[in-house]
Amino acid sequence: VLAGLFHRERTGEGTDTVLAMYDMMRAFLLVEHGAEAIPEPQLSRAGYPRLLSAERRPLRTSDGGLVAILAYERHHFEGLIRIGGRLEMLEDERFVSRLGRLNNIDELYREYQRIAETHTTQEFVDACAAAGVPVHEVVTLDDVTNSLPMTDHPRLGRYRMTPSLAPGVPVDAEPRRFAPVLGENGREVLLDLGYSDEEIDELENSGVVGRYRS
């Protein structure tokens, strides 16, 4: 949409902007998953080993919780190894370089799991946060739903409101207006279109449009 508006602003002409979902998905995912299959001749099959590893999963902690981490950089690796007290791994030739960690990603992910198992969920989250490792406890759909702010609808009662993602809008801001129910603005719209009250009454009485009852 922004590209189309910018084009119109610069050229004075409208444009038909079509973004195919498949093409968007391909352009986004193959940045990593294209990997060594991008050159011709191909060096390997498509697929990014770090993302496709069978060991890539949330980490189970000692109290049964699940924690998700994003440990991509060298300092993330070092932070996790220090949390686990496995300092000898900092000098292990398999893990000292980015390429080494990628080539031994299954074993590295297994080590992260072993480290997580020695901490409670909160201990591990706190330790990762202190070490600068992106981390969050895995939550359920019920957890996410129950975290939504509550508000009151004048007709439907109390409900959970999905916050606006617009920049600068507080997550607990009250809506200026609620989504209209079926037919609520029908008469108003028809009046704006030039229909008279009598014509609208006739349309409602004949069942062409719904009659709103507050």
- The string of DSSP codes covering 55-101 is T-SPEE-TTS-EEEE---SHHHHHHHHHHHT-GGGGG-TTTSSHHHH
* pLDDT for 126 beyond 90: yes
* pLDDT for 170 beyond 70: no
First and final C-alpha spacing in the chain: 37
Break the chain into its structural domains and give their ranges. 2-47, 50-142, 182-214
Cα atoms in the Cβ-side hemisphere of radius 13 Å centred on 167: 0
Nearest one of 204, 175, 170 to 187, comparing CA atoms: 204
State pLDDT tens for residues 61-84.
999 999 999 999 999 999 999 999
State whether the Cα torsion 134-53-138-111 is positive or negative. Answer: negative
State pLDDT tens for residues 106-115.
999 999 999 9
- Residue with the bigger pLDDT between 137 and 153: it is 137
- Residue with the bigger pLDDT between 75 and 170: it is 75
- Take residue 55 and report the two structure tokens written for it: 């060991």
Provide the CATH topology of domain 50-142.
Answer: formyl-coa transferase, domain 3 (3.30.1540)
Nearest one of 127, 7, 17, 109 to 58, comparing CA atoms: 109
- In this prediction, residue 16 has a pLDDT band, given cuts at 50, 70 and 90, of confident
CA distance 92 to 188: 73
Instruction: Return the percentage of the chain with pLDDT > 70, whole number.
Output: 96
- In this prediction, residue 146 has a pLDDT band, given cuts at 50, 70 and 90, of very high
- In this prediction, residue 38 has a pLDDT band, given cuts at 50, 70 and 90, of very high
Residue 15 gets which letter from DSSP?
Answer: -
